[in-house]
Amino acid sequence: MADGNQPKKILIVDDSDLERELLMEVLRGTGVKNDFLQARTGEEAIQVLGTRYNEIGLILLDWQMPQMSGMEFMEAVVKVPQVARTPIIMVTASGTDENKKKASTVNPNLAGYIVKPYTPDSLVDVIKKYII
Amino acid sequence: MSPKQNPELEKNAQILMKGTDALFKDRGQITFTKPAIMERKTIIEYEGRMRADGMEKFNNEPTYVSAVNFYVNANDMQKKKTLGALIIYVPQAYLAKLMRLLQYPPFDDEDESAMLDSCGTLGNIIAGRFKSGISNAGYIELEMSPFATYRNTFPLGVEFCPTEYDKYELKFDVENATRLVLELSMGPIPHR
């Protein structure tokens, strides 16, 4: 829990407004009380992390994004001790084993991998141990 | 067919068709009115790019068009050495409904940026499913670009593999009318 017994926030990084909306709607619909922060690009997410890393308890990260991809974002953040321990879950349109392996190689602490389109149950199954 | 052309283009298009069918069934329980119509067509090229005009797909109705490119690896992606292109066309009048059928949250269908975003979102999930299907069929894992989206037409066309002359067009009907058209151009994909 963050200061003042507030649950930590979930940072959603996806270039699609609709995908971010869907994630928030599905999570709220399943009873998740955490607040959300949003970023449309990897660069924007790095800026958010840079100033608010201690508020963030979980990152839901898209793979295909313009300029900085989800993989490039992970490569950058795993080197920063303050945020390297923040769990990251990839939420992406392609769910091959090879993609999962690539993501885990870049980030050995990758907390999970969700393939779009997902069901509310499958989403909650993956993220439940990281949210309070 | 030139010897350099992809001999497995039809097989690739079938993977796209099956993946798209499965995606809509899984996510939205949408039943297509009839099986998708798959047709081989010649690519119309303009200054080295593939023409992607949406209005001609739906009797001059306004259309949203989204495209994704595929590459053999990250290095080729950086050098823009394109292997394939997948283009998604949805009539403007049906896009919001189609996304609702896929259980996406409602959005303002008079907001141009929301419409562009939703067409790109649809393109992304169709392309992602296709990429997984290709990998499961024994081909190498392709790299995929982020989506680009326009209303009616791609003004500069879409990058495609220069060895290819043909593409496949797939038409999907929902509620007794064509609501989704896909076009696939793909160079020979290496097998694993």
Domain that holds residue B145: 9-186
pLDDT of residue B25: 87
pLDDT at position B4: 76
Instruction: Reduce the secondary structure of B82-124 to three states and give it as a string.
Output: CCEEEEEEEEHHHHHHHHHHCCCCCCCCCCHHHHHHHHHHHHH
For residue A131, being part of any structural domain is answered with: no
Judge whether B69 and B85 are in contact, CB under 8 Å: yes
In B, minimum Cα distance to A119 occurs at B27
Q: For chain B, which residues score pLDDT lower than 70?
A: 1-3, 28-29
Structure tokens that stand for A2 in this block: 């963050």
Are B23 and B129 in contact, with CB atoms under 8 Å apart?
A: yes
Q: Calculate the CA B134 to chain-centre distance.
A: 14
Domain assignment of residue B1, yes or no: no
> Cβ A16–B120 below 8 Å, yes or no?
yes
Tell me the residue type at B4: K
pLDDT of residue B31: 81
In a domain, B56, yes or no: yes
Tell me if B104 and A94 make a contact (CB, 8 A cut-off). Answer: no
Instruction: Please give, rounded to a whole number of angstroms, the shortest distance from the CA of A5 to a CA of chain B.
Output: 31
Q: What is the pLDDT of residue B97?
A: 93
Report the number of distinct structural domains present in chain A: 1
What's the CATH number where A66 sits? 3.40.50.2300
Q: Which of A6-20, A85-99, B6-20, B159-173 has the lowest mean pLDDT?
A: A85-99
Distance from CA of residue B105 to its chain's centroid?
Answer: 22
Nearest CA in chain A to B123: A93
Residue B191 lies in a domain: no
Answer whether 0.95 is exceeded by the pTM. Answer: no
Task: State the ipTM, two decimals.
Answer: 0.88
User: Does residue B93 fall inside a structural domain?
Assistant: yes
Task: Please report, rounded to a whole number, the percentage of residues in chain A having pLDDT higher than 70.
Answer: 95
pLDDT of residue A2: 47
Q: Can you give the three-state secondary structure of A42-97, one letter per residue? A: HHHHHHHHHHHHHHEEEEEECCCCCCCCHHHHHHHHCCCHHHHCCCEEEEECCCCH
Residue A8 within a domain: yes
- pLDDT confidence band for A98 (50 / 70 / 90): confident
Distance, in angstroms, between A25 CA and closest chain B CA? 8
> Residue A86: which of A8, A26, A6 has the closest Cα?
A8
For B72, the token pair is 């053999």
Helix (H, G, I), strand (E, B) or coil at B147: coil
CATH number, position B23: 3.40.1550.10
* Chain A CB within 8 Å of residue B124 CB: yes
Put simply, whether A22 touches B (Cβ < 8 Å) is yes
Q: Record the tokens describing residue A18, joined without a space.
A: 């609709």
CB pairs under 8 A between A and B: 68
Q: Which two tokens stand for residue B73?
A: 């690896």
Residues of A in contact with B144 (CB under 8 A): 64, 94
Average pLDDT, chain A: 91
In a domain, A132, yes or no: no
pLDDT of residue A3: 52
Question: What integer is the mean pLDDT of A50-76?
Answer: 93
Domain count along chain B: 1
A 10 A CB-CB count for B91 gives 22
- Flag if B129 and A64 touch (Cβ within 8 Å): no
Residue-wise pLDDT tens digits, A104-116 = 999 998 999 999 9
Chain B CB contacts of A115 below 8 Å? 128, 132
pLDDT score recorded for residue A1? 46
- Which residues from A are below 8 Å from B131, CB to CB? 93-94, 96
* Owning domain of residue A34: 3-126
A20 belongs to a structural domain: yes
Q: Cα-Cα-Cα-Cα dihedral of A69, B121, B131, B164, to 10°? A: -100
Query: What are the beta bridge partners of residue A37?
Result: A11
